[in-house]
Structure 1
Amino acid sequence: MTKHAKSNPIDSDNFVLQDYLDRIHFVGDVKSNIKSISKLMQCQLFSIPFEDLDVQAGKTISLAGNDIVDKLINRKRGGYCYELNGLFALVLQKMDISYRFVAARPLVNPGENPKTHMAIIVTLEGEEYLVDLGFGGNGIREPLKLNDTTAAQQGTETFALAKAENGDYLLQTLLRDEWKNLYSFDLSHQDWIDFKPANHYNSTHPDSFFTQNLVVVLQNPLGKKILFRNTFKSIVNGETKSYTFEPEKLKDILATEFNLEKL
Structure 2
Amino acid sequence: MNILQFEDYLKIDTASFNQVDLRTLNHYIERFMYTVPFENISVQNKEPISVNVDDLFNKIVHRHRGGFCYELNTIFQYYLKEKGFKVDRVSGTIHTPDDNWSRDGSHMSTIVHLDQPYIADVGFGDLPTKAIPISDPDNIQVIHDVNGHYRAILDEDNVIHLQKQLDDQSWRTSYLTNEICRPWDFFIEHLDYNVHHPDSIFVQKLIITMAKECGRVSMSYDHLTITSKNHKQKESFKRDQYKTILEKYFGIVESIHTLES
Uncovered stretches (5+) of structure 1, i.e. residues with no partner: 1-14
- TM-score when scaled to structure 1? 0.89
- Output aligned runs, 1:212-223, within 5 Å: 212-223=204-215
Distance between the aligned counterparts of 1:234 and 1:86, measured in 2?
27
Uncovered stretches (5+) of structure 2, i.e. residues with no partner: 256-261
* Residue 56 of structure 1 pairs with residue 47 of structure 2: no
Question: Percent of aligned pairs with the same residue?
Answer: 22
Q: Give CA deviations for 1:175-195 in whole Å, capped at 9, x if unaligned.
A: 112211100011111012322
Distance between the aligned counterparts of 2:181 and 2:147, measured in 1?
32
Please identify, of 163-172 and 198-207, the stretch whose mean Cα deviation from structure 2 is larger: 163-172
Residue of structure 1 equivalent to 2:259: none
Q: Report the alpha carbon displacement of residue 164 of structure 1 after superposing the two structures with TM.
A: 4.7
Q: 2:73 aligns with which of 80, 85, 88?
A: 85
Q: 2:122 aligns with which of 120, 128, 133?
A: 133
Please identify, of 152-161 and 52-61, the stretch whose mean Cα deviation from structure 2 is larger: 152-161
* Residue 75 of structure 1 pairs with residue 66 of structure 2: no
Q: 1:172 aligns with which of 144, 149, 163?
A: 163
Residue of structure 2 equivalent to 1:39: 27
Please identify, of 154-163 and 252-261, the stretch whose mean Cα deviation from structure 2 is larger: 154-163
Residue of structure 2 equivalent to 1:10: none
Q: RMSD over aligned Cα, in angstroms?
A: 1.5
Q: Report the alpha carbon displacement of residue 109 of structure 1 after superposing the two structures with TM.
A: 2.7
Distance between the aligned counterparts of 2:140 and 2:26, measured in 1?
18
* Residue 120 of structure 1 pairs with residue 110 of structure 2: yes
Distance between the aligned counterparts of 2:232 and 2:191, measured in 1?
32
Distance between the aligned counterparts of 1:229 and 1:238, measured in 2?
24
Residue of structure 2 equivalent to 1:100: 88
Q: Report the alpha carbon displacement of residue 127 of structure 1 after superposing the two structures with TM.
A: 1.9
The alignment partner of 2:199 has SS state of: coil
Task: Note if contact 1:162-1:169 (Cα within 8 Å) is conserved in structure 2.
Answer: yes
Distance between the aligned counterparts of 1:20 and 1:81, measured in 2?
18
Distance between the aligned counterparts of 1:93 and 1:223, measured in 2?
29
Q: Which amino acid aligns with 1:118?
A: M
The alignment partner of 1:146 has SS state of: strand
- TM-score when scaled to structure 2? 0.90
Count of aligned pairs between the two proteins: 247
Distance between the aligned counterparts of 1:225 and 1:193, measured in 2?
33
Q: Which amino acid aligns with 1:130?
A: I
Residue of structure 2 equivalent to 1:191: 183
Residue of structure 2 equivalent to 1:260: 252
Task: Note if contact 1:214-1:228 (Cα within 8 Å) is conserved in structure 2.
Answer: yes
Distance between the aligned counterparts of 1:48 and 1:26, measured in 2?
13
